[in-house]
A and B are shown apart, each in its own frame.
Chain A
Amino acid sequence: MVKATAGVLVTGDVALIEFIRWLNESQLPAERFIINGSLDDTHLFIKESKVEFVQKKVDEWQQSLRFEPSAREHQ
């Protein structure tokens, strides 16, 4: 019988997917969210319950890569 799994398909570039995989590895085994047989370099299948968590972590990661010269803010 064809097996059907419900979840959330995540699409992104290679670096982002790699980051999400690293995030998955760094979780405790009970809290891992990538459904088995993760798809390929630019796609992942994750559990629905963890969607906001992943989104939040990805936003934090992107924020940490940005640089705003603080001097300009105090003009």
Chain B
Amino acid sequence: MADGSSGLVAFITSGITPLQLERLFVQPYAVVAILRSLPPLARHILLRFSCTGGTVSTATVSTWGGSDGQGKLAAALEELEALRLLMQAACKGQAVYTIHASFQAQLRHAMCSGLLVGHAATLPPRAAVPDAAILAAYARQQWEALLLYLVGGEGTTPVAPPELQAASIDIRGLLVAAGLMAKDERTQRQMSAGITQRGFQFLLADLYSQLWGVVRQYLSGLEAQASDGAGGGDLAVAINFLLCLGLQEGCNVMCHGQLGNAEKAIAAHMCQLGLLLPVAGGGELWLHPTRLAAVLAGGGRGGEAVAAQEDGYVIVESNFRVYAYTTSAVQVAVLRVFVRCDVLLPNLFVGTITRDSATSALGLGITSEQMVAFLRQHAHPRAAARVPTVPSVVADQIRLWQQELTRLQMHSAMLYDKFESQELYIGAVEHARQLGALLFRCDKRMQLAVPAALHGAMRTHLQERKRALGL
């Protein structure tokens, strides 16, 4: 989930219908993003195709790989076919591969004339350009409001800036639909929603996974909302708009007045989430992308690595003490999930990772890798310089605590004993393995155990086999 390419490509291959996929191939930014997210061999094949007339015979394609590269070539071609970028057809009695026409056109356009900055033909006046600190502060404020709402369940959700005059997203509905919050019906005064197990894992994930999780839920919501006719267009426009935010380098400001209607609504929602900052200047409203937009479009590692260095705040010592230089309530709340708080000062959180705190977090469904990864990602720059960032004692001990929880495993099962013949036993073991139900086998004493639920299936199998073997 932390890999940018898998997020986007997975969404495209599994999340949208073929009709919407076709519409996506017309959008220039989507085309480039898809190209960048493919593995090197598939990318190479696509680029070769884009320079041809569009159809290449299968025989020629198979000569592109050496004798020991055929397997990899075939795998790459299959992947491209699954994405509908390449299609197999028969032309004049020959088997050929054809590249998707609009994809090829967009790709050529991008290669030859670069990604045209279609939106910002004019620039905002100098006075209206906010400096980096304001952008960062706005992004942090909006995103933390969302996370704080997730943790607390009360308080205000981030709101869309009023000057954009658009309906804001129902943040609570979005989080509930994503499975991060669940309606808590115990309070009678109001239906407040509390955080779920998945919500805790979401909090400990890296920024890219969080962003992509929320945006993906938002896109699914868009899909479900609109009727099939308009829905496809909206989704493709939304994806293109999102990619456009991060992929442009240099002049990436957008003028609100120049966007289409669907794009205006999406822009308002992105402002609400903290990806865009609206600033009025020169009679127009300008939208500036923030760091969050860069992280989203760049995929996990690109934007993250730079950001993490400035934003790290956690120091972990080998005596299991945790020091976090932070003033943010959200970060303290996230740390308290698995660290016992000893001291809380206005700008410092001091805690200890104890067996109790770690096992209660493990009981919530958070894994030891998530905890260690969280501590590593948010490491203070001075701690990050030392190797390993999180002391190996601490990392190993959290892993051991997790293993302790699974030390004893119990399954309700049926034990089969006293098989009349070796063949009957072997056959039963095979059948159990096919059902995926083999819990235990001992060849020496011919004993077999399967889950109790499958007893009926095993009994019928054994009766048939015995009849077949004439026992």
CB of A4 closer than 8 Å to a CB of B = yes
The residue from B407, B418, B439 contacting A13, defined by CB atoms under 8 A apart: B407
- On chain B, the number of residues with a Cβ less than 8 Å from chain A's Cβ atoms is 30
CB of B419 closer than 8 Å to a CB of A = yes
**Chain B residues within CB distance 8 Å of chain A:** 342, 352, 354-355, 404, 407-420, 424, 439-440, 442, 445, 447, 449, 452, 455, 459, 462
CB of A2 closer than 8 Å to a CB of B = yes
Contact string, A17-49, partner B, CB cutoff 8 A, digits 1/0? 000000000000000000101011001010010
The chain B residue sitting closest to A59, CB to CB, is: B408
Bound complex: CA A12 to CA B411 (Å): 12
Bound complex: CA A3 to CA B415 (Å): 8
Extra contacts besides A2-B416, A12-B408 (6): CB < 8 Å: A8-B411, A8-B412, A9-B410, A9-B412, A11-B440, A62-B404
Are B410 and A51 in contact, CB atoms less than 8 angstroms apart?
Answer: yes
Contacts of A12 in B (CB 8 A): 407-409
The residue from A16, A39, A66 contacting B440, defined by CB atoms under 8 A apart: A39
Are A2 and B418 in contact, CB atoms less than 8 angstroms apart?
Answer: yes
The 3 A-B pairs with the shortest beta carbon distances in the complex, nearest first, are: A9-B413, A11-B409, A5-B415
Most buried by A among B342, B407, B410, B447: B410
Are A2 and B419 in contact, CB atoms less than 8 angstroms apart?
Answer: yes
Shortest C-beta distance, A53 to chain B (Å), equals 12
Shortest C-beta distance, B354 to chain A (Å), equals 8
Are B447 and A39 in contact, CB atoms less than 8 angstroms apart?
Answer: yes
The chain B residue sitting closest to A20, CB to CB, is: B408
Bound complex: CA A55 to CA B405 (Å): 12
Assess A3 versus B417: contact at CB under 8 Å? Given A39-B442, A75-B342: yes
Main secondary structure of the interface of A (DSSP, over half): mixed
Are A2 and B420 in contact, CB atoms less than 8 angstroms apart?
Answer: yes
Contacts of B419 in A (CB 8 A): 2
Are B439 and A9 in contact, CB atoms less than 8 angstroms apart?
Answer: yes
Shortest C-beta distance, A66 to chain B (Å), equals 7
Shortest C-beta distance, B360 to chain A (Å), equals 14
CB of A6 closer than 8 Å to a CB of B = yes
Contacts of B352 in A (CB 8 A): 72
Bound complex: CA A19 to CA B328 (Å): 48
Bound complex: CA A71 to CA B46 (Å): 66
Are B416 and A3 in contact, CB atoms less than 8 angstroms apart?
Answer: yes
Bound complex: CA A55 to CA B352 (Å): 29
Are A45 and B449 in contact, CB atoms less than 8 angstroms apart?
Answer: yes
Shortest C-beta distance, A22 to chain B (Å), equals 15
Contacts of B342 in A (CB 8 A): 75
Shortest C-beta distance, A40 to chain B (Å), equals 6
Contacts of B462 in A (CB 8 A): 2
Shortest C-beta distance, B177 to chain A (Å), equals 37
Are B415 and A35 in contact, CB atoms less than 8 angstroms apart?
Answer: yes
Are A7 and B417 in contact, CB atoms less than 8 angstroms apart?
Answer: no
CB of A60 closer than 8 Å to a CB of B = no
Contacts of A66 in B (CB 8 A): 355
Are B407 and A7 in contact, CB atoms less than 8 angstroms apart?
Answer: no
